[in-house]
Structure 1
Amino acid sequence: MITAQNLSLFFRDGQYRLPVLQGISIPIERGEWVALTGANGCGKSSLIRLFNGLNIPAGGSLTAAGLNLRSPENRTAVKQHIQLVFQNPEAQNVGSTPYEDVAFGLENRGLSPGEMEKRITRVLQQVGLAHKSETDISALSGGERQRLAVACCLALQAEMIIFDEATSMLDPAGRSDILDLARNLWRQGTTILWVTQRVEELAESPRVAVMGQGTMLYDGDPRTLFYSSELPGQLGWEPAPVISIGRLLQAKGWPLRLLPLTEQELEAIL
């Protein structure tokens, strides 16, 4: 789905070029779940905006959904395949109701009214908002607005959805709903790039990529990251309770492959 090789990106500040990304290489296969993390200002948002054509790399090579993103036409076309769900739920809605919001993108694609209605009904049902299709968007909760943003992505038949810290402004129940929705989509074949700074969400991801100051510091499995790497400590991460217990087990000689990452794995051990 994504093949990025030695990507660089610069922003201009007057006569100076400020480096934002330096030598980033990362492949993402179709149907994969990758969690991307790093401190604020490390370049995460700049990188994901390269993936769907919002930014243009200064150097390196990048293909997304089989399209070379050096081409302006391809940067426009890739948005059909790769969609973003942003951090702020209120910044993504253009319609006055969920039905109108999903319809907006479909109208721009020139779908017939009959096909639009079928697709809108299906995706609102898929995200659990069918019963609120005609509700005023201002009456929706933050979690419901994020689910609506996902519905808009699904209506456009996105092959990959990038969640850019999409749960950071939600309460625990809303976070859980969006994470469960993303996991269901992943199980159905959608490629997911999950951008987060929550350690527990990283631990539950099959693959974690860690950025720092515009470079890629780590790309691999979470068990190695949390139990065999000094990176979490260097970055000042507060370990999740499950990881803290796992480190006690590690100190007593438990092998890496048995150390827990999730509450379910810890429960099985206990």
Structure 2
Amino acid sequence: MIKAHNITFSYRDGLRRLPVLQGISIHIRRGEWVALTGANGCGKSSLVRLLNGLNRPSAGSLHVAGLDLRSQENRTAVKQHVQLVFQNPEAQTIGSTPYEDVAFGLENRGLCRDEMDVQIRRVLQQTGLAHKADEDTATLSGGERQRLAVACCLALQAEMIIFDEATSMLDPAGRSHILALARELWQQGTTILWVTQRPEELAESPRVAVMEQGSVRFDGDPRTLFYSSGLPEQLGWEPPPVIRIGQLLLSRGWPLSGLPLSEQDLEAVL
């Protein structure tokens, strides 16, 4: 799905260029779930904007869904394959109702009205918003607005959805609903890039990429990251309770392969 090799990116500040990304190489296969993390300012959002065609890499090669994103034409075309759910749910709403909001993208694709209606009602049902189809979007909660953003992505038949810290402004219930919806889509074959700074979400991801100062410091499985890489301690992360218990087990000689990453793992261990 994504093949990035040695890509760099810089912003122009007057006559100077300010480096943001430095020599990033990452491959993501179709159907994978990859969590991307790093401190504020490490370059996560800049990388996401490259993957979605919003920016062009300064150097290196970047192919997404088979498209070379050094081309302006392909940076437009890639949006048919990759969709982005932003951090702020209010910044993504265009229509006055959920039905109109989903319809906006489909109208730009030139779908006939009957086909649009079927698509809209299908994705609103899938995201649990069918009963809100004709309500004012201003009355939706933050979690419902994020589900509406996902519905818009699904209506456009995105092969990959990037969640750019999409739960950071939600309450615990809203976060849980969006994460559960993303996992359901992943299980159905959608490629997911889950951008987060929550260690518990990283621990339950099959693969984690950690960025620092514009580079990828780690790319691998969460058990290695939390229990043997030493990186969380170097970066000053506060480990979730499950990992703290796992670290105690590790100090008592528990094998790495059996250390818990989720509450379900911990229950099995106990």
State the TM bucket, normalised to the shorter chain: over 0.9
Distance 2:129 2:95 in 1: 15
Give the TM-score taking structure 2 as reference length.
Answer: 1.00
Distance in 2, matches of 1:269 and 1:8, equals 43
Which residue number corresponds to residue 233 of structure 1? 233
* Pairwise CA distance, 1:230: 1.1
Q: More displaced, 203-212 or 10-19?
A: 10-19
Letter paired with 1:194: W
Q: Report the Cα distance in structure 2 between the residues aligned to 1:106 and 1:139, rounded to whole angstroms.
A: 23
Please list, as runs of the form range in 1=range in 2, the aligned pairs for 1:40-189 lying within 5 A after superposition: 40-189=40-189
For structure 1, which segment, 10-19 or 38-47, has the greater mean C-alpha deviation from structure 2 after superposition? 10-19
2: distance between equivalents of 1:7 and 1:39?
20
Separation of aligned partners in 1, 2:13 and 2:50: 20
What secondary structure does 1:84 align onto? strand
Residue deviations 1:93-142, cap 9 Å, x none?
A: 10000000000000000000000000000000000000000010000000
Are 1:251 and 2:251 matched, yes or no?
yes
Aligned to 1:29: 29
Corresponding position of 2:196? 196
Identity %: 78
One-letter amino acid of the counterpart of residue 37, structure 2: T
Structure 1 residue 50, shift from structure 2 partner: 0.5
SS state at 2:7 partner: strand
Q: What do residues 203-246 of structure 1 show as CA deviations (whole Å, max 9, x unaligned)?
A: 00000000000000000000000000111001000000000000
Where 1:111 maps in the other structure, the secondary structure is coil
Cα distance in structure 2, aligned partners of 1:103 and 1:207: 34
Structure 1 stretches of 5 or more lacking a match?
none
Give the ranges of 4+ consecutive aligned residues of structure 1 lying more than 6 Å apart after TM superposition.
Answer: none
Shift of 1:15: 1.7
Q: CA RMSD in A?
A: 0.4
Deviation at 1:16, TM superposition (A): 1.4
**Residue deviations 1:124-181, cap 9 Å, x none?**
0000000000010000000000000000000000000000000000000000000000
In the superposition, the TM-score normalised over structure 1's length comes to: 1.00
Question: What's the counterpart of residue 214 of structure 1?
Answer: 214
